[in-house]
Structure 1
Amino acid sequence: MRSDDADGTRRPGDEVFGSRSGSLAEYVRGTAQSFLVPKPVGLTFEQAAAVPMAPTTALQGLRDKGQIKAGQKVLINGASGGVGTFAVQIAKAFGAHVTAVCSTRNVDQARSLGADEVIDYTREDFTRRGRRYDLILDVAASGSLSARRRALEPNGTLVGVGAADGGGMASIVAGLLEAAVLSRLGKKKMPFFLAKNSKEDLIVLTELIDAGKVRPVIDRTYPLTETAEAMRYLETGHARAKVVITV
């Protein structure tokens, strides 16, 4: 921080982090009351920059929309991306039995994050295994939604993450409509949501990180001068977890 906060809770030199609209700025204006929280002690600034939005999405999807409980069978569809890598760890922190779905090259990574089981989607379709889950966090949003619904327990919940497949607003609207129709059939729930910035959730995540239960996974780090290259890499769809740009 470069100046005192209005309520006196922060001082120049305090290490803080948070989430605001916009990106790639050297400075951001705000207050501790609005969005800033102390940076997790064990993280570098580069690691902390990878934290705010992806794990907030995972936390809100699992806890708020999915109502996750200890002992539940939870499947993370898309476990190698930014949201997915955090979701595996957060679900484990809640005491769930976690199955991660990812590609061959990310199987070991998913296991290292604590997944109890890992399904390589290039070799096996989790919707055809005959196994049922209490909660599915659908980050990848690939294939048939009705097929993914069949992988739920009778009272299970499938949480769709808005625009997870990069489809933008059209993807969000289509997902909302299909989920609304399928949710009327039986007791299976299919909420579809967009994450929101939350200072309170950042505090929860900081506690999990400081406790050693969650850690950010960074695939690559680029200097600001190579931002275009970083964006090209992201557009390939092969980035693991997070890509960070240093300013």
Structure 2
Amino acid sequence: MKAIVQDRYGGPETLALADVPRPEPAADEVLVEIAAASVNARDWHLMRGDPRIARLDRTHFGRHAPKARIRGTDFAGTVEAVGAEVSDLAAGDEVFGESDGAFAEYVCANRSAVAPKPSNLTFAQAAAVPLAGITALCALAPVRPGQRLLVIGASGGVGTFAVQIGVARGAHVTGVCSTRNVDLVRSLGADVVIDYTRDPVVGSFGVVVDLAGTRSLRTLRRLLAADGTLVLCGGGAPNGDRISVLGPIKLIAAGHILGRLIRQTVEIPTAHPDRAMLAELTELIESGQVRPAIDRTYALTDVPAAIDYMETAHPQAKLVIDLNI
């Protein structure tokens, strides 16, 4: 099968289209013929081995290259085969989910990370949902109806889901983005949109979700109500070939410490592939409350260009890899 592989850390130039063996599902896995995948910040972090301290985590990072040779995480497609322990999915089912190795014609994913595709989405749209949607659900766990919610980084992959989920939960949502993304964030249902290039971000919010990771804790705390909750979920920004040492881990570590010292709550959610959360997203999507926003679509051969665009152009929402073009 065709796949996008990587054998050393570096930029998009280290990614190549190659022929690799088609995987075989283990007992608890599902083999999926991929129709579409999508690009996430996770892809450039793994591609570059950024931040450098993350390479100490040998689950995903190796010393000189990522542990998984094939890049990509999100996918949507059709079940080709199932393992012996999988009884609730069958060949021909349309699914979406997460697994290492999604920039390929086939992928094996653990059953716990796969769910039936939302019926009102195309494969390309469904592929844009899993990682970003689950991250947004985790980040918005503290949100209650009527609360004032601030989403910093509202036009990104996670941010576009966070705005919509916040609205669906009855929050008063303020989104922060740059000038070219104001119309997009407003179209997603945000009650207020702040263009940070023109206006200061001010106010008192019950929940502040920081998806950018570029503001100090002091600045973020000033935006919180006295009993508010700060959610740190920013992944840092690409800086070309310059690899950061700590990246967002510095802010997150400081947030852990600060959360023990102040009345306000600091949360650092960890998102994992989860079919129950995929099912929750499906309910929101099929009810019309959430829809994936897509900036551009690329062919499998153009994955390096897609990741380069993510690193250099700060795209709106999601970039999709369509294996049918």
TM-score by length of 2: 0.70
Q: 2:116 aligns with which of 29, 38, 41?
A: 38
- Hey, what's the Cα distance between the residues in 1 that align with 2:189 and 2:88? 36
Percent identity, aligned pairs only, is 47
For residues 200 and 168 of structure 1, what CA distance do their matches in structure 2 show?
A: 34
* Aligned pairs for 1:54-69 within 5 A: 54-63=132-141, 67-69=142-144
TM-aligned CA deviation for residue 180 of structure 1: 2.8
- The reply to whether residue 203 of structure 1 matches residue 302 of structure 2 is no
Query: For residues 273 and 149 of structure 2, what CA distance do their matches in structure 1 show?
Result: 24
In the other structure, the counterpart of 1:139 is 211
Aligned-partner Cα distance in 2 for 1:238–1:208: 26
2:170 aligned with 1:95, yes or no? yes
- State yes or no: 1:85 paired with 2:157: no
Question: Using a 3 Å threshold, how does the CA distance of structure 1 residues 23 and 5 change in structure 2: closer, same or farther?
Answer: closer
Aligned partner of 2:200 in structure 1 is 125
Contact 2:150–2:176 under 8 Å retained in 1: yes
Contact 1:162 1:193 in 2 (8 A): no
C-alpha contact (below 8 Å) 2:95/2:116 kept by paired residues: yes
Distance of 1:240 and 1:203 partners within structure 2:
25
Shift, 1:13, TM fit: 1.4
The answer on whether the counterparts of 2:210 and 2:234 sit within 8 Å (CA) in structure 1 is no
Shift of 1:194: 3.1
- Which residue does 1:190 correspond to in 2? 266
| Alpha-carbon RMSD | 1.8
2:291 to 215, 235, 240: 215
Separation (CA, whole Å) in 1 of partners of 2:163 and 2:220:
18
Instruction: Call closer, same or farther: CA 1:179–1:232 in 2, change over 3 Å.
Output: same
3-state DSSP class of the match of 1:74?
strand
Alignment of 1:159-178 (within 5 A): 159-166=231-238, 170-178=246-254
Structure 1's 30 and 191: CA in aligned 2 closer, same or farther, altered over 3 A? closer
Q: Does 1:245 align with 2:324?
A: no
The 1:207/1:82 distance shift into structure 2, 3 A limit, reads: same
- Which 4+ runs in 1 deviate beyond 6 A? none
Equivalent of residue 151 in structure 1, options 206, 223, 226:
223
Residue 118 of structure 1 deviates from its aligned partner by 0.5
Q: How many aligned positions are there?
A: 240
Q: SS at 2:227's partner residue?
A: strand
What SS is found at the alignment partner of 1:18?
strand
What is the rounded CA distance, in whole Å, between the counterparts of 2:166 and 2:123 in structure 1?
Answer: 25
Deviations 1:183-223 (A, max 9, x none): 24431111223321111111100110011000000000001
Kindly state the Cα deviation for residue 245 of structure 1 after the two structures are TM-superposed.
Answer: 1.1
Partner Cα distance (1:29, 1:180) in 2: 35
> CA 1:185/1:10 → structure 2, altered by over 3 Å: closer, same or farther?
closer
Amino acid at match of 1:55: G
Matched with 1:50 is: 128
Give the unaligned 5+ runs of structure 1.
none
- CA separation in 1, counterparts of 2:289 and 2:103? 29
Asked if residue 2 in structure 1 is aligned to residue 80 in structure 2, the reply is yes
- Secondary structure at 1:197's aligned position in 2? coil
Q: Which structure's residues are more often strand, by fraction?
A: 2
* Segment of structure 1 superposing worse, 162-171 or 209-218: 162-171
The answer to whether the Cα contact below 8 Å between 1:146 and 1:182 also exists between their aligned partners in 2 is no
- Distance in 2 separating the partners of 1:181 and 1:41: 44
The equivalent of 1:107 in structure 2 is 182
Query: 108, 115, 137: which one pairs with 1:29?
Result: 108
One-letter amino acid of the structure 2 residue matched with residue 201 of structure 1:
M
> Cα offset for 1:229?
1.4
Deviation digits for residues 14-50 of structure 1 (CA, Å, limit 9, x no counterpart): 111111123301111245x432211000111011111
> 1:35 is aligned with what amino acid?
A
Change (3 A) 1:30 1:197: closer
